[in-house]
Amino acid sequence: MKCKKVKRVLSPYLDCALSPEESNAVKRHLESCSACQEYASELEAMWKVLDVLPSMPENPYFVQRVLSRIEEKESEQFSFVHRLEHFLVPVATGFALLLGIWIGYLAGGNGERLGNENGNSTLVASTEYLETFSPLPSASLGEVYLSLNTELGEEGTP
């Protein structure tokens, strides 16, 4: 027998739960292998310490609760709605982002494009939004802004 297999069956061997053939094979291996002998003695010492500890009272519903929790987790993981939710949330987020960009593009078009004789188009500032500032008192910040914008629009150069 190899050490790996002996270590796997050592606990049943110490509990006398192996067949006579397996038990004899483990016994022969332990007589010839000092590493497995040491492992067996450590395992025996651990069992002796555990035998000294008082046993805890068993909860009669423990197994039922564990099994029901396992079933709940499995049903959550494999439910169609759960999988669909993990797919639809990123898709809906991406759609909302694209919709926001598109609406921003449409709302941000506050200029008009005019073609000149060369076929090139130039962006001309629309004054419909600037007319909001019409009833401003003179020398106010809004009046200065409006006058700068209208001067730029008339001259065509900054």
> What is the tens place of the pLDDT at every residue in 1-38?
789 988 899 889 888 888 999 999 999 999 999 999 99
d(CA 130, CA 128): 5
Answering whether pTM is above 0.85, one says: no
Of 83 and 94, the structure prediction assigns the larger pLDDT to 94
Q: How confident is the model at residue 95 (pLDDT cuts 50, 70, 90)?
A: very high
pLDDT value of residue 142: 73
Give me 148's structure tokens. 């700068």
